[in-house]
Amino acid sequence: MSSTVSYEAAMFSANDFVSDPCPSNPLDQMVVEELRLPPTFAWGTATAAYQIEGGTSQDGKGPSIWDIFSHIEPSRTNGENGDIACDHYNRAAEDVELMSSLGVDVYRFSISWPRIIPLGGRNDPINEKGIAFYNNLIDQLLDRDIEPVVTLYHWDVPQGLYDRYKAFLNTAEFQADFIHYARLCFTRFGDRVKKWVTFNEPYIISIFAHLNGTLAPGHCVAEGTDTTTEPWRVGHTLILSHAAVVDMYTTEFHYSQKGDISIVLNGSFYEPWDATDKVHRDAAERRMVFYIGWFGDPIFLGQDYPSEMRAALGSRLPAFTDKERRLLSRTAPNNAFYGMNHYSTKYARTLSEPPAGDDWTGNIAESSVNKFGQEVGPVTAVNWLRVAPDGFRKLLNWVWQRYHLPVIVTENGCPCPGETDVQIAVDDKLREKYIGLYLDAISRAIYEDGVQVTGYYAWTLMDNFEWSAGYGSRFGIVHTDFDTLKRTPKNSAYYLKATFARRRQPAT
Which residues are identified as catalytic? 201, 411
Instruction: Please state the closest distance from residue 219 (CB atom) to ligand PNW, in A.
Output: 17
Three-state SS for 42? strand
Q: Which residues contact 10 (CB under 8 A, 6 or more apart)?
A: 1, 208, 212, 214, 468
Interface stretch with ligand PNW, choices 137-145, 199-207, 305-313, 427-435 (CB under 6 A): 199-207
Question: Residues 70, 77, 257, 341: which binds ligand PNW (CB under 6 A)?
Answer: 341
Answer yes or no whether residue 343 interacts with ligand PNW by CB under 6 A.
Answer: yes
Interface stretch with ligand PNW, choices 169-177, 185-193, 238-246, 341-349 (CB under 6 A): 341-349
Answer yes or no whether residue 292 interacts with ligand PNW by CB under 6 A.
Answer: no
Q: Are 412 and 341 a contacting pair, CB within 8 Å?
A: yes
Interface stretch with ligand PNW, choices 16-24, 117-125, 336-344, 393-401 (CB under 6 A): 336-344
214/257 with CB nearer ligand PNW: 214
What pairs with residue 42 in β-bridges? Answer: 455
The Cα 327–Cα 236 span in angstroms is: 13
DSSP for 423-485 reads HHHH--HHHHHHHHHHHHHHHHHHHTT---EEEEEEE-SB----GGGTTSS---SEEE-TTT-
The Cα 131–Cα 340 span in angstroms is: 28
Instruction: Please state the closest distance from residue 411 (CB atom) to ligand PNW, in A.
Output: 6
Answer yes or no whether residue 200 interacts with ligand PNW by CB under 6 A.
Answer: yes
Answer yes or no whether residue 48 interacts with ligand PNW by CB under 6 A.
Answer: yes
Three-state SS for 391? helix
Interface stretch with ligand PNW, choices 196-204, 251-259, 312-320, 419-427 (CB under 6 A): 196-204
DSSP for residue 489: E
Q: Which residues contact 208 (CB under 8 A, 6 or more apart)?
A: 7, 10, 214, 215
Q: Which amino acid is at 206?
A: S
Q: Which of residues 156-185 bind ligand PNW (CB under 6 A)?
A: none
Answer yes or no whether residue 347 interacts with ligand PNW by CB under 6 A.
Answer: no
What pairs with residue 158 in β-bridges? Answer: 64
CA nearest 366: which of 18, 7, 5? 18
Give the CA angle between residues 283, 288, 292 to the nearest 5°: 155
Instruction: Please state the closest distance from residue 266 (CB atom) to ligand PNW, in A.
Output: 5
Answer yes or no whether residue 11 interacts with ligand PNW by CB under 6 A.
Answer: yes
41/343 with CB nearer ligand PNW: 343
A 10 A CB-CB count for 291 gives 20
Instruction: Please state the closest distance from residue 376 (CB atom) to ligand PNW, in A.
Output: 12
Instruction: Please state the closest distance from residue 4 (CB atom) to ligand PNW, in A.
Output: 18
Q: Which of residues 381-420 bind ligand PNW (CB under 6 A)?
A: 411
53/466 with CB nearer ligand PNW: 466
Interface stretch with ligand PNW, choices 101-109, 197-205, 357-365, 395-403 (CB under 6 A): 197-205
Answer yes or no whether residue 207 interacts with ligand PNW by CB under 6 A.
Answer: no
Q: Are 375 and 369 a contacting pair, CB within 8 Å?
A: yes
Question: Residues 56, 225, 268, 363: which binds ligand PNW (CB under 6 A)?
Answer: 268
Answer yes or no whether residue 204 interacts with ligand PNW by CB under 6 A.
Answer: yes
DSSP for residue 319: P
Question: Residues 266, 363, 368, 412: which binds ligand PNW (CB under 6 A)?
Answer: 266
Q: How many residues bind ligand PNW (CB under 6 A)?
A: 14
331/480 with CB nearer ligand PNW: 480
- Tell me how far CA of residue 36 lies from CA of 201, 209, 417, 507, in angstroms: 29, 39, 29, 9
Instruction: Please state the closest distance from residue 258 (CB atom) to ligand PNW, in A.
Output: 27
The Cα 260–Cα 269 span in angstroms is: 26
Answer yes or no whether residue 201 interacts with ligand PNW by CB under 6 A.
Answer: yes
Strands (E), 171-290: 195-200, 260-266, 269-272
What pairs with residue 228 in β-bridges? Answer: none
Answer yes or no whether residue 127 interacts with ligand PNW by CB under 6 A.
Answer: no
Q: Which of residues 436-495 bind ligand PNW (CB under 6 A)?
A: 459, 466, 475
Three-state SS for 405? coil
Chain residues in the site for ligand PNW (CB under 6 A): 11, 48, 200-201, 204, 266, 268, 341, 343-344, 411, 459, 466, 475
